[in-house]
Structure 1
Amino acid sequence: MCWKKRPRRSVLAVITCAVTYVGVVNLLAFYSMVRSYDSPVSWVQRYGHMYIGKTETNNWICKGLRYSTIPLPPTALVSFPGSGNTWLRHVIQQATGVATGSAYTDVSLKRDGFPGEGQTNGSVIVVKTHFRGQEERARYVRAILLIRDPFNALLSEFNRRHGGHRGHAPNVNFEKNWYDYILGTAGEWYDLYHDWLTFDGPIHVIMYGDLRSNPLAELDRLMKFLGVTLTHKEKFCVMSNYEGNFKRKERRVSVSDIYTEYMTYMINNYKRKLATELGHFLNKSTIRIS
């Protein structure tokens, strides 16, 4: 009977050693992440030579999120609300490990992975803004313009106003508020970008559609503009959680169902005007806003 017991002890010993090893590796990784980056990491896992951590807010991160100890050039991340600014901030934080700031203080964002909310100094790598005008432009030395098709951006912002960052506006809000919202807001989409195209410093333009369809190429272009070099492993890590936690689940809505003929004509006119101005700015004959 003894020969039957020994294998059991051997298997148990192997399992115990394996569990202990995994526990020690994770504890060492956790200690390394916290010591290096002062990040709210609660659990980490090692992939090759790269650590991917999970924060207490369920945001997977590639690098411990921190503020820069070296003053960075003030960089505006400009977009019309609903154009994916929060999503792009997530991508930038994943890639650089440096917190992004904001001209606003959204408590929900500050709690869920964006500690730089309200910060506009050189400790953050970019600053989210929806403002325009000479006084606002003068705060920055370079700018990133994130442009999304206004039909989608306007709808996304309407959903955020009435349904939060991840929800959708109830039908009653479309019935009561949609028409006045479009008439009062559509022109602001054009005015914002028209204004920032007069910015004196370097400008980097990102089309939301390109960010979705060709993410690696857009990431490379953006990091080059920011002066950041990524390894292949770092790019892989960014792509592993490219979407982030603030993506609203799509609700299939036909443009013709919510935009009247007059709304469509008005918005398309703004799109044509901005496309022409972007074409001149980028020295391209045709620009597709998507």
Structure 2
Amino acid sequence: MSRELPPQQAFQTHCLAQMGVVSWLSIEKSDSATDSVSGTVFMPPQPWPIDVAVEQGVSSQASSDAYSTGFQAAVPPPVVTLTPEEKEPLVHNLREQLNAGPEIIVEDLQPIEELAVDIVIEPKSNVVSQITHLDIRAYALSNKLLILSDVPQVFSQAEDIERLALKMGQALLKKPIDEWQGSAFSWPGQLRNPYFLNRTDWLFGALESYVGRLVKDFPDAPLLVLAGAKVAQLVEDLPADNILKQYPTARIVSLPELHRIPELRKEAWEEMQSTLFS
């Protein structure tokens, strides 16, 4: 005697057959153990739903069969609809969102702690000088005599002036010049910042450092010769306690002038003799 199984029992029979059970006998009070059973299993065309939105276009009958087949009917996930503001949150709404949720801590938005520092502003220098540009040649002779001479900005007689300085030094010191060095100083030189043009104290400091390097090996205070109006005026404008004003100093015309006009050498010689060796 055969008996038709309901759909749920028919699907269970199909699953048992997949696991190796070839027959399934349903024993009830009214049935015998030898009764044969049979049933029809309805398999869904696509057991795994891919996209709920796409599946909505399928007929309602196919969807009903797909979700009602099996041990338990499948429930489609709810569709969540987001507003455009939630999909792409704007920057100007970020502060409102943080204020609405105080439990949220965003470390990157913590306030930056600023440290107050004292800015030292240098007082304006009261040193005034008419000299803002300077081009000189310096000659340190025998660790005893220092000659600072004005030269033109474009200078092409370096060798001639150098020989003249050596002759002057040998005549003043009355001995051969066995050790000497020459160098150039220019202000502002390669500096192109107009701020330096009005800072006379910077020029004074640069000149003092330059002379200090030249006379650092001198055993005693050098004999200083200021040759030229610009360098003489600049040293005159230095403060009274400046080290350059403490040296024995002779003021003469520049070495380029002495080279071009030999008649001026006699007057320069007398000035150097009376001032340096008096």
The TM-score with structure 2 as length reference comes to 0.19
Bigger helix share: 1
Q: Which has the larger radius of gyration?
A: 2
